A and B are shown apart, each in its own frame.
Chain A
C-alpha cells in the first residue's frame, strides 16, 4: 500500500495546487513533495535487504472479454532495483520545488501541478510490476514534462520540445509493440489468460530471432530516453531551452527511466538478445561517453555543457548495465542516484548564476568566488562529486561501472575510463572560467546564495558525502535484488 500512496500522493497534491491561490501554490507543492519524501524515506528505512518485492499492491485492471479474468494487473512494489530510483524521485523533487522559490512563474499553479504529476508518473515507472503499467507511466511522464518545457521554456521552445516529444514517443511506441507481442506470447495455461506481469515476461521462452527483435524495440525506446548515441540529438537543445526545474526533472530523474528500463525489462526478458547484440549496444554507449565529453569540453554555455556531461555520464551507466556483471549493475544503480543528485545541483548552480548575472556564457563570467564564499564551496563539492573524486558519490558509481566494463572487455573499459579524465577537464574548466579570474561588470556585485537556495544545496552536498563515504548503506540494499536478477540473465 505504501507504493500506491507513493503514486497517489503527488496527484492529490497536484489537485490541491491547482485549486490553491497563486501565492500558496508553491507552498502547497512543497508540502506535497515533502510528504512524498517522508513516504520514500519510510520505504528506504524499513526496506528489508533481500530480493523480495515489498510494500506491494495488486488489483485486477483489464479484463478478458470471454471469461472476465484479468491478465493485465494494476500492480506495483518496491524491490532493491527500484528502491534507489524511488528514493531519488522522492528526494530530488522537493529540492526542485524549493529551488524555484526565488522565481515567480507565470501561471504558477499549473507549473507546480505539472511537476507533481510528473513525480507521480516517475514513481509509477519505478514501482510498476506489470509491463503495461510500466509503459503507461513511461509515456504519462512525457506529457507534463512536455508542457513544462514548452510553456515556460526559452525562445525556441516550441520547435525543440516538439522534436523531443515526437522522438521519445516514437521510441515508446516501439516498446509498446514489443510489449503487445510479449503479452500475446505468454502462456495461458495457468491462469487462462495472457499475462503482462513482469515476472511472467521474464519466464518467456523466446527464440533467438524473436529476442533480437524485442531487444531492438526495447533498446531504441530506452536509448532515446537516456539518451545513448546516436539517439541523443533531441537532448542538448531540450535541456537548454527548458526552464531549469524542467531540466532538473529531465536530467535528474527522467533519464533514469531509461537506465531502469534496461535493467528491469531488457536484460531479463531477452537475455539471448543481449548476448547477440549487447556488444554493439555497449559500444554505442561508450562512443556516447567519449563523444559527449569531447563536445562538453568545447561548450561555452554552462547549461549546454552540463547537458553534454549528462549525456556522457548516462552512456557510462548504460555500458555498465550491458556489462551484465554484478559490479556494473550495482554501479549503474548507485550512479543513477549519484548522478541525479549531482546534475540537479549543477543545473541549479547554473541557474543561480544566470539569475544573478544575466548570462550563462563562460567567457562573460569570472571572479565570482570573491563575493560568494558559500556558493564557491557548494559548487566545488557538487563538482567534485560529478568528476568522481574519491570520497564523493560519483567515485563509487564510476568505479564500480568501470570495473564492470573492464571485466567485460579490457579495451572498452580503457576507453570508457577516459570519462574520468575528460570529466575532470570540462568540469574544472567550467569552474575555473566561471568562478575564478577577474571579475567584470556582470559579476562584481554578485550576491551569495540565499537561505532557501542554501537548503537545497546543503542537502545535495550531504548526499554527495554520505554516498561517497558510506556507499554500503545503499549498496547492501540493492545487492540481493541484483544477484537475483543476474540469475535470469545467465
Chain B
C-alpha cells in the first residue's frame, strides 16, 4: 500500500514541479520518488497485508513483482534525459503520468478483488494511451495512440463482461471467494457455463494486455509508433504487471485440476501461436524497433509457458523471467535511443511530410557501433544474448525455469516448440550483434552521460550476475 501512496502523492508534486523554470530538477526528483516507493514496498517484507477491505493483498510474491516494475520504471526514467532537452516535450507531465501508471500496475499485481484489477488495468492503460501519443506532431505516434486506445477499450469491454459473468456464476468479486466457489462447484460436480465463459473472457481481456497472439495485432504498430522511451516503459512494466495479474487469478481462482484442464488447452494453443507467429515475423523485420516489438510478443509466449505449466514453481519462474526480460529490453532501447540521437535523419526514408521526422531505426543504424563504443557494444550484446537465452545470462535461467514447469506437466512437445523458436530468435537478435561488430560504419564516438552509462552497465552486470548465480534472486521467493 505504501508505494501506492508514495507514487500518487509524488505524481501530483511532480506536476507542480513542472511550473519551475528549470527542468533539471525533474529527473532526480522522479528517481528519488521511485527509490522511496521501492523502499516503502519492501517495508512489508515477509508479512502478508490486506488493505482497503479486502481490495488488495500484498505478499512477498507481489512485492517482488512490484519491485521489478519499479526497477523497470527507474531505469526508463534514468534513460529519459533526452526528454529534458526536447523543446516540445512536457517532461513533468510525462513523469507524473508514468508514476500514476505505476499505481495502476501495483493494483494489478496486488489485487484481491476483481474490481481492483479492473481499476488497475484502466489506470495503467489510460496512462499508456497518453504516453503513446505524446509525440503529438508525429503522425505515427498519433496513429499508434488511437489504435492502442480503440483496441484497448474493446479488450477492456471483454474483460469487464467476463468479470460480470464470473460474478453471476459465483456471487462474489474477490478472487479467494471465486476460488472457493469454483471448488465447491467441482465438488458438487456442476459445471456452469456462465463460469467458463466468464473465465475465458477475463483471460482474453488480460491476454490482450500482454499482447499474446492472436490478440497481438496492435503491438507492432503501437511499439513502433510511440516514442522509444515509452516503448521501453510499456513493453516491460505492462508485461510484468499483466503476467503478475494472470498468475494471481489463475493460481487463486482456476487452479483446481478440473478447471485447469479447461483453460490449459486454450492457453497452450495461444502459447504456441504466440511463439511461432512472433518469432517468424520478427525475422523479416528491417527495423530494429519493430523487431523488438515482435520480440516482446515472443517473450509473452515464453512467459505463457510458465502459466501453462502452472505450479508453485511458476511464481519464481515468471518473476525471474520478467526481471531478466525487463533488464535486457530497457538496455536495448536505451542503446537505440543513443544511436538514433547520434545519427542524422535518413533522407532516403523521408517519403512525405508525416515521416519527415522519422529517425533511422533499422539494423543498419547499428553498423560499426562497437568499434568506437566498446562499452555500448558490450551492453547491447549482453542484452541480446540474454533475450536470446544464451547461458551465463539471466535470460537463460529464466527460460530454463519456465520450460521445466511445462515439462513437469508432461508437455515435452511444448518444450520442443519453444526451443526451436529460441533458435529462430537467435537469428534476429544476432543481426544486431553482427551489425555492431562486423559491419563498417559509425565512425564517431557517442557521448553518454555518466548516469546513463552507469544505469546501462548496472543492468548488464545484473544480467550476468543473475546468469551466473541465479540462486541470489530465487532466495527472495
Are A177 and B419 neighbours in the complex by a CB distance under 8 Å?
A: yes
Are A60 and B471 neighbours in the complex by a CB distance under 8 Å?
A: yes
**Contact partners of A177 in chain B: CB under 8 A:** 412, 415-416, 419
Closest CB-CB distance, B76 to chain A, in whole Å?
28
Are A62 and B471 neighbours in the complex by a CB distance under 8 Å?
A: yes
- Is A170 interfacial (CB 8 A cutoff)? yes
**Contact partners of A158 in chain B: CB under 8 A:** 434, 438-439
Select the stretch in B107-115, B157-165, B194-202, B384-392 that faces chain A.
B384-392
The interface bits of chain A over 357-375 (1 if a CB of B lies within 8 angstroms of the residue's CB, else 0) are 0000000000000000000
The interface bits of chain B over 270-302 (1 if a CB of A lies within 8 angstroms of the residue's CB, else 0) are 000000000000000000000000000000000
The interface bits of chain B over 32-60 (1 if a CB of A lies within 8 angstroms of the residue's CB, else 0) are 00000000000000000000000000000
A177 to B412, CA, bound (A): 8
Closest CB-CB distance, A17 to chain B, in whole Å?
14
**Contact partners of B316 in chain A: CB under 8 A:** 65
- Cβ-Cβ contact count across A and B, 8 Å cutoff: 84
**Contact partners of A63 in chain B: CB under 8 A:** 471, 474-475
Are B437 and A180 neighbours in the complex by a CB distance under 8 Å?
A: no
**Contact partners of A68 in chain B: CB under 8 A:** 475
- Is B477 interfacial (CB 8 A cutoff)? yes
Size category of the binding interface on chain B: 35 or more
The interface bits of chain A over 134-172 (1 if a CB of B lies within 8 angstroms of the residue's CB, else 0) are 011101100100010011000001100010011001100
Query: How many A residues touch B, CB cutoff 8 Å?
Result: 35
A157 to B439, CA, bound (A): 11
Chain B residue, CB-CB nearest to A157: B438
Q: Which of A61, A165, A173, A176 touches B471 (beta carbons < 8 Å)?
A: A61
A60 to B469, CA, bound (A): 10
Are B419 and A176 neighbours in the complex by a CB distance under 8 Å?
A: yes
Are A183 and B404 neighbours in the complex by a CB distance under 8 Å?
A: yes
Select the stretch in B23-31, B147-155, B423-431 that faces chain A.
B423-431
- Is A455 interfacial (CB 8 A cutoff)? no
Q: Which of A64, A139, A181 touches B415 (beta carbons < 8 Å)?
A: A181
A177 to B407, CA, bound (A): 10
Are B437 and A151 neighbours in the complex by a CB distance under 8 Å?
A: yes
**Contact partners of B317 in chain A: CB under 8 A:** 65
Closest CB-CB distance, A172 to chain B, in whole Å?
9
A60 to B475, CA, bound (A): 12
Q: Which of B301-327 contact A (CB under 8 A)?
A: 312-313, 315-317
Are B422 and A173 neighbours in the complex by a CB distance under 8 Å?
A: yes
If A61-B471, A66-B312, A139-B390 touch, whether A173 touches B423 (CB-CB below 8 Å) is yes
Are A169 and B404 neighbours in the complex by a CB distance under 8 Å?
A: no
Q: Which of A62, A140, A174 touches B391 (beta carbons < 8 Å)?
A: A140
**Contact partners of B434 in chain A: CB under 8 A:** 150, 158, 162
Chain A residue, CB-CB nearest to B374: A110
Q: Which of A62, A64, A65, A181 touches B407 (beta carbons < 8 Å)?
A: A181
Q: Which of B246-273 contact A (CB under 8 A)?
A: none
- Is A280 interfacial (CB 8 A cutoff)? no
Q: Which of A139, A165, A170, A180 touches B403 (beta carbons < 8 Å)?
A: A180
Q: Which of B315, B408, B419, B426 touches A184 (beta carbons < 8 Å)?
A: B408
The interface bits of chain A over 38-51 (1 if a CB of B lies within 8 angstroms of the residue's CB, else 0) are 00000000000000
- Is A70 interfacial (CB 8 A cutoff)? yes
Are B437 and A147 neighbours in the complex by a CB distance under 8 Å?
A: yes
**Contact partners of A143 in chain B: CB under 8 A:** 385, 390, 392
Are B397 and A65 neighbours in the complex by a CB distance under 8 Å?
A: no
Are A169 and B438 neighbours in the complex by a CB distance under 8 Å?
A: no
Are B404 and A65 neighbours in the complex by a CB distance under 8 Å?
A: no
Are A62 and B474 neighbours in the complex by a CB distance under 8 Å?
A: yes
- Is B18 interfacial (CB 8 A cutoff)? no
A110 to B474, CA, bound (A): 33
**Contact partners of A173 in chain B: CB under 8 A:** 419-420, 422-423
- Is A348 interfacial (CB 8 A cutoff)? no
| Leading 10 A-B pairs by shortest Cβ distance | A65-B316, A184-B407, A136-B391, A63-B474, A158-B438, A139-B391, A173-B419, A66-B312, A170-B423, A140-B392
User: A residues bordering B, Cβ < 8 Å?
Assistant: 60-66, 68, 70, 110, 132, 135-137, 139-140, 143, 147, 150-151, 157-158, 162, 165-166, 169-170, 173-174, 176-177, 180-181, 183-184
With contacts A137-B391, A169-B423, A169-B426 known, what are 6 further pairs, Cβ within 8 A?
A61-B471, A66-B312, A151-B437, A151-B438, A173-B422, A181-B407
Pull 27 A–B residue pairs with CB atoms less than 8 Å apart, ordered by A: A63-B475, A64-B313, A65-B316, A70-B471, A135-B391, A136-B391, A136-B392, A139-B390, A139-B391, A140-B392, A143-B392, A150-B434, A162-B434, A165-B430, A166-B426, A166-B427, A173-B422, A173-B423, A176-B400, A176-B419, A177-B415, A177-B416, A180-B407, A180-B415, A181-B412, A184-B404, A184-B408
